[in-house]
Copies of this chain bind each other. A is one copy, B any other.
């Protein structure tokens, strides 16, 4: 069951808003229940969707020239997910967004959300904190590619997000780290042997 009171828990970042503010958003949302393999946003989609992940896990991926699926991003509960092709660049999504687990999304039309956010300046602080956090996370990921080698990136990931590493297939972890599944397997063996 979903009501404005519950929503307040889900949208942690939305604290500081009045119940009326929250209800304005509440009117925009729909809950979507997904099975593993279901698609939230399909490549080519131009409509702007944004969703809060109440439960579960979403990956974005595309098919490269060689025909292989490459996973570029993982998002999980208490995070927002959207195609930045749609929302930032205003173009069709290059990625599919697929649920990897039974997943519950709280889904909104992005443009309608913008209208509500514009209606009350109180929303803007929330938006600011949200966008800054996304920037921080993304820059941190860039830094890890520049400052760390693949093995170090993997060690950092299992240190910082051990639950996520255990929840998804290794091949997705490998792609996220910018390496091949074969190479990740070798890295795991190297680590295991060095700890013997």
A residues contacting B by CB (< 8 A) are 62, 64, 70, 72, 84, 87-89, 118, 121, 124-125, 127-128, 131-136, 138-139, 141-143, 145-147, 175-176, 178
Are the C-beta atoms of A133 and B72 separated by less than 8 Å?
no
- Contact partners of A132 in chain B: CB under 8 A: 87-88, 131
Q: Which of A87, A136, A176 has the most CB of B within 10 A?
A: A136
Copies in the complex: 2
Are the C-beta atoms of A136 and B72 separated by less than 8 Å?
no
**Given known A141-B142, A142-B142, contact A147–B88 (CB-CB < 8 A):** no
Q: Output the least CB separation between A131 and chain B (Å).
A: 4
Of all chain B residues, the one with the shortest Cβ separation from A95 is B143
- Contact partners of A176 in chain B: CB under 8 A: 146
19 contacts between A and B (CB under 8 A): A62-B147, A64-B147, A72-B143, A72-B146, A84-B135, A84-B136, A88-B135, A88-B136, A118-B121, A124-B124, A124-B127, A127-B128, A131-B132, A134-B135, A138-B138, A138-B139, A142-B142, A146-B175, A146-B176
- Contact partners of A124 in chain B: CB under 8 A: 118, 121, 124, 127
Chain A binding surface SS class: helix
Q: Which of B89, B125, B142 contacts A145 (CB 8 A)?
A: B142
- Contact partners of A131 in chain B: CB under 8 A: 128, 131-132, 135
Are the C-beta atoms of B136 and A89 separated by less than 8 Å?
yes
Inter-chain CA distance A175–B145, complex, in Å, is: 10
Q: Output the least CB separation between A88 and chain B (Å).
A: 4
Inter-chain CA distance A147–B66, complex, in Å, is: 12
- Contact partners of A134 in chain B: CB under 8 A: 135
Inter-chain CA distance A147–B72, complex, in Å, is: 8
